[in-house]
């Protein structure tokens, strides 16, 4: 069923026999007709618990304290982003959310820092007010990056590439982790605002291992459906970059986050956006171009595509 989000077993793909691996690949490709799939994961519960506990401490600091961790000129790639800053492309009302962003550093002399100075910046995290948060969040980041790299191996096989195809694209990629607090909707400054308006992510895939409340919804042919992974699973959704690489074979997962009227409180989620290195060229792969599916997209550097969309959502202005 085209509107169904399926559960797949990453460990069965990694450890199973040929038939088990094929079943995972086929189910993943079927589920990704929605742009979404649920995958099992092996991230320890204490890693997730520790991250959420410290992030809740940060987000409940006074507004003037959180403002110390804004990183001007980084366009939301590190540090704190306040309420009503990000606006989904094509929408007029800003999202009712605040965020904390972080990623891996690359060495000071790395050529990526010289070529993309606004993409590779010194990390800004609030250890001064939440002691120990950097170590916990960087462990979360590493675990999530590993999960996404491994899951992309399923997608590589599904699109007719070598299993390790995406590994090279991800070397020193600008993968970004983002903690999001969605405040109670009754506190929003107007009815036009929602937690996150309809949008597609910019990257290859996004992973969400847990949220504290409902709210994530996926756009399907039959309308909006709730997305909530079973216990021990993570939500994976596809982004604009993967759609370009696969020539539309795997579409972008369009989604929104809206408050449940029966649950008027706040919501937390921690997601990770898996990005290739910005100097990688994104163009339809030969295995995804056929006479029936001619090339839909030209070639563009990943960093240029990211900047284009960041401009559209009001993070680069």
Give 3-state DSSP helix, strand, coil % of the chain, rounded to 5. 30, 20, 50
Query: What are the residue ranges spanned by the domains of the chain?
Result: 7-312
Indicate the pLDDT class of residue 313, thresholds 50, 70 and 90.
confident
Indicate the pLDDT class of residue 317, thresholds 50, 70 and 90.
low
Q: What is the pLDDT of residue 1?
A: 45
Q: Which of 4-13, 100-109, 113-122, 268-277 has the lowest mean pLDDT?
A: 113-122
Share of the chain above pLDDT 70, in %: 99
Classify domain 7-312 at the CATH topology level. Answer: Jelly Rolls (2.60.120)
| pLDDT for residue 3 is more than 80 | no
Could you give the CA distance from residue 93 to residue 190 in angstroms, rounded to a whole number?
A: 9
Residues 160-211: pLDDT tens digits? 999 999 999 999 999 999 999 999 999 999 989 999 999 999 999 999 998 9
Indicate the pLDDT class of residue 316, thresholds 50, 70 and 90.
low
Q: What is the pLDDT of residue 2?
A: 57
CA angle 280, 284, 287 (to 5 degrees): 115
CB atoms within 10 A of CB 128: 10
What Rg do the C-alpha atoms of the chain give, in angstroms? 19
Could you give the CA distance from residue 120 to residue 306 in angstroms, rounded to a whole number?
A: 13
The pTM assigned to this predicted structure is: 0.94
Tokens for 105, please give them: 């550093």
Q: What is the pLDDT of residue 264?
A: 81
Q: What's the whole-number mean pLDDT along residues 250-261?
A: 94
Of residues 255 and 120, more confidently modeled: 255
């Amino acid at each position: 069923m085209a509107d169904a989000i399926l559960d797949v077993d990453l460990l069965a793909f990694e450890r199973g026999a040929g038939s088990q691996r094929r079943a995972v690949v086929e189910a993943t490709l079927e589920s990704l007709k929605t742009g979404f799939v649920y995958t099992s994961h092996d991230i320890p519960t204490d890693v997730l618990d520790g991250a959420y506990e410290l992030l809740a401490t940060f987000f409940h600091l006074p507004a003037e304290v959180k403002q110390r961790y804004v990183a001007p000129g980084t366009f939301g790639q590190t540090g704190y982003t306040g309420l009503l800053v990000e606006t989904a492309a094509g929408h007029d009302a800003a999202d009712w959310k605040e965020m904390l962003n972080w990623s891996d550093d690359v060495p000071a002399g790395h050529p990526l820092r010289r070529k993309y100075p606004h993409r590779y910046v010194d990390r800004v995290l609030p250890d001064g007010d939440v002691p120990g948060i950097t170590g916990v969040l960087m462990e979360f980041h590493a675990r999530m990056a590993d999960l996404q790299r491994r899951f992309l191996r399923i997608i590589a096989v599904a699109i007719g590439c070598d299993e390790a195809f995406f590994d090279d694209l991800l070397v020193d990629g600008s993968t970004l982790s983002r903690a999001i607090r969605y405040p109670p909707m009754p506190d929003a400054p107007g009815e036009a605002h929602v937690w996150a308006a309809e949008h597609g992510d910019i990257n290859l895939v996004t992973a969400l291992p847990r949220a504290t409340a409902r709210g994530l919804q996926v756009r399907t042919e039959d309308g909006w459906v709730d997305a909530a992974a079973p216990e021990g699973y993570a939500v994976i959704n596809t982004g604009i970059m993967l759609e370009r690489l696969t020539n539309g074979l795997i579409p972008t997962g369009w989604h929104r986050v809206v408050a449940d009227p029966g649950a008027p409180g706040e919501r937390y989620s921690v997601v990770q956006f898996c990005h290739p290195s910005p100097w990688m060229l994104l163009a339809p792969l030969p295995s995804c171009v056929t006479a029936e599916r001619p090339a839909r997209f030209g070639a563009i550097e990943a960093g240029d595509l990211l900047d284009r969309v960041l401009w559209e959502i009001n993070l680069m202005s």
